[in-house]
Amino acid sequence: MKTEQLAQRLDRVETSAIRELFKLLGKPGIVSFAGGFPDSALFDVAGLQAASQQALTQDPGAALQYGATEGYQPLREQIARFMQAKGVSSLAAQELIVTTGSQQALDLLGKCLIDEGDKVIVEGPTFLATIQCFRLYGAEVISAPIDAEGVQVDALEQLIIEHRPKLIYTIPTFGNPSGATLSLERRKRLLELAVRHQVLVVEDDPYGDLYFDAPPPPSLLALSAQVPGSRDFLAHCGSLSKVLSPGLRIGWLIAPPELLAKAVMCKQFSDAHTSTFAQATAAQYLAAGHMPAALAKVRKVYAERAQVMMQALREELGDAVQFTAPQGGLFLWLRLTGAGGKLTDAATLAQRAIEQGVAFVPGAPFFSQHPDTASLRLSFATADEEKIREGVRRLARALA
Ligand code: PMP
């Protein structure tokens, strides 16, 4: 075929610079801080083995048959319970649908909400796949500034007034890539903004369970009970990927009923339903009560690795980099300060770092507008403590 035969909308998205960089990761001996993955060594293999066995023993017909587009009912009930335990006071199983990862929930939202030329507001920086997905549906993706406390709500309100966006997309807790967490006060103000301007807020929350010392502020969904009318302007995407296993591809979407119904319709045309085997396994896993212990384990490991990485960065790079300590999640967001006349271009540093045997992702692609070329994302999740120290030493050599 000829490339001209491809749909024109594909011209709106480029293959990401990040994907190109990932091709280099196969180099032997490389220490990678680049991925957005959880550590596969931490997967609860025994728990999942037992759960999949149970799924096939107890309900083999359901686990291996076609299923409802909305999701496997026992899993919907378990997810509702999981969310209730995190402070969502009223949530019935039929108010959520199971999606094939939260990525699919984002895609369904794009499909159901975005018309050509619509504007949407995201955080700068934000999850790259969301920017790309919304652009594919024809959105102009406006970037709202963030700081250590998450999105700057005053600036956001100005952007809402100026652009009348179709939706606002936010990762309020341990953001990817920023690591930032929206303060409680800003969370409430964001919900008030949604009501005042009648604009849908999409809360993407795959990392909220991965806190280090103390739980983060309640999710926007949990807080919506305190801000009258805000639940009508809120969609929430959740995921088992970072806390249990991304390979299961279990996510969920909670949204106002008219939107949820359309998302179900679109999902029908897309994958009919999320893998029933994966859903039945996840349902058994949650019902068996394995989650709290599994979470306690990964929280502890990631907290230790984050500490080791921050300590190593302070020792090896000193004032050449700036960062805010994340309170959870998988990522550390750095800025190159240029102190001592050192490099401030993260893309150039990424190339030199690969030569030194360490990989990370430059920050610029995570911005839909006004890219910060001095920023970069480091993941502390997948390398053990010794590798983290070695990787940071290599990073220091690349910057020297
Ligand atoms: N949202 C954010 C912010 C993410 O970082 C990711 C995964 N990297 C996803 C959504 C998608 O995750 P999944 O589809 O595995 O649930």
Closest CA to 252 of 112, 96, 108: 96
Q: What is the mean pLDDT of the chain?
A: 96
pLDDT of 19 strictly over 90: no
Both tokens of 32, joined, read: 């990678």
Which residue's alpha carbon is at the smallest distance from atom 13 of ligand 1?
A: 101
Q: How far is the CA of 4 from the centre of ligand 1 (A)?
A: 32
Model pLDDT for residues 56-85, shown as the tens digit of each residue: 999 999 999 999 999 999 999 999 999 999
pLDDT at 26: 72
Model pLDDT for residues 195-215, shown as the tens digit of each residue: 999 999 999 999 999 999 999
Percent of the chain topping pLDDT 90: 93
Model pLDDT for residues 316-367, shown as the tens digit of each residue: 999 999 999 999 999 999 999 999 889 999 999 999 999 999 999 999 999 9
- Who's near 158: CB < 8 A, 6+ residues apart? none
In ligand 1, the atom with minimum distance to the C-alpha of 241 is: 15
Model pLDDT for residues 87-146, shown as the tens digit of each residue: 998 899 999 999 999 999 999 999 999 999 999 999 999 999 999 999 999 999 999 999
Which residue's alpha carbon is at the smallest distance from atom 9 of ligand 1?
A: 103
Q: How far is the CA of 271 from the centre of ligand 1 (A)?
A: 18
Interface confidence, given as ipTM, is: 0.99
pLDDT at 17: 61
The binding-site residues of ligand 1, defined as CB within 6 angstroms of any ligand atom, are 36, 101-103, 127, 171, 176, 204, 206, 239, 241, 246, 251
pLDDT at 174: 98
Task: State mean pLDDT over 20-39.
Answer: 84
In ligand 1, the atom with minimum distance to the C-alpha of 240 is: 16
